[in-house]
């Protein structure tokens, strides 16, 4: 009985590790034809004739103050006044999360979001598309220096506060940033046979 429980718990743990790794680091998951799942660095070696893959963009870690400045600059580049919105989280309350949100007219929000995104790219933020969540018209994701930043416009029904006075012609323009340092979470090389 103990051996059976041990196998069940081992299987559950392996499934959890594979699921977590697939969400956090999809480029580090490989499933072989025989059903083996490999986590960690790629096991295949490129052929000498194949071109070298481009290294993933990396940048030095950013502080919350630097991210706050990035957000203010991008908002200003869109022709908006940062003081007319409100910060997401109080300054200094959470060193790993920050942002800004403001009520905007729907007719202008898309152009403002496009301008914000263009300035983020100018500042060196790289697109980090989420195929299940991003929509060019409603939200876009970026990453840089251990931070992830989501720029979105969202309607009245998804307003952050039930006391907000958003009309049918208005929406929110929101920049939400959070720090996630995956290098602090070492991922061991594990091979699991499923089936």
Sequential pLDDT tens for the chain (195 residues): 677 767 766 766 566 555 655 555 566 666 665 656 665 555 554 445 444 444 445 668 889 899 999 999 999 999 999 998 888 866 666 788 899 999 999 999 999 999 999 999 999 999 987 766 556 678 899 999 999 999 998 765 444 555 557 888 899 999 999 987 555 555 555 665 555
Closest by Cα among 182, 173, 112 to 146: 182
**Exposure on the CB side of residue 172, measured as CA atoms within 13 A:** 25
The boundaries of every CATH 3.30.310 domain in the chain are 64-182
Predicted TM-score (pTM) of this structure: 0.59
Residue 195 DSSP symbol: -
Measure the CA–CA gap between 47 and 30, rounded to whole angstroms.
18
Q: Which two tokens stand for residue 60?
A: 């030095």
Question: CA angle, 186 as apex, 54 and 132 as ends, to 5°?
Answer: 60
Indicate the burial class of 73 (C-beta count within 10 angstroms; 0-12, 13-18, 19 or more): middle
Question: CA angle, 188 as apex, 125 and 96 as ends, to 5°?
Answer: 35
CATH topology of domain 64-182: TATA-Binding Protein (3.30.310)
């Amino acid at each position: 009985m103990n051996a059976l429980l041990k196998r069940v718990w081992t299987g559950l743990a392996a499934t959890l590790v594979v699921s977590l790794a697939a969400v956090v680091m999809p480029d580090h998951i490989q499933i072989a034809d025989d059903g083996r799942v490999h986590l960690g660095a790629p096991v295949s070696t490129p052929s000498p004739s194949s071109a070298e893959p481009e290294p993933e963009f990396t940048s030095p870690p950013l502080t919350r103050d630097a991210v706050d400045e990035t957000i203010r600059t991008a908002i200003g580049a869109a022709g908006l006044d940062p003081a007319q919105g409100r910060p997401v989280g109080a300054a200094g309350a959470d060193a790993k999360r920050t942002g800004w949100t403001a009520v905007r007219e729907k007719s202008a929000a898309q152009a403002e979001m496009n301008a914000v995104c263009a300035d983020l790219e100018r500042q060196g933020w790289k697109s980090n598309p989420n195929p299940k969540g991003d929509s060019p018209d409603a939200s876009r994701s970026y990453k840089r220096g251990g931070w992830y930043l989501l720029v979105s416009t969202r309607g009245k029904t998804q307003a952050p506060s039930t006391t907000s006075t958003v009309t049918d012609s208005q929406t929110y323009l929101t920049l939400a940033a959070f720090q996630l340092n995956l290098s602090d979470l070492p991922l061991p090389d594990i091979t699991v046979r499923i089936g």
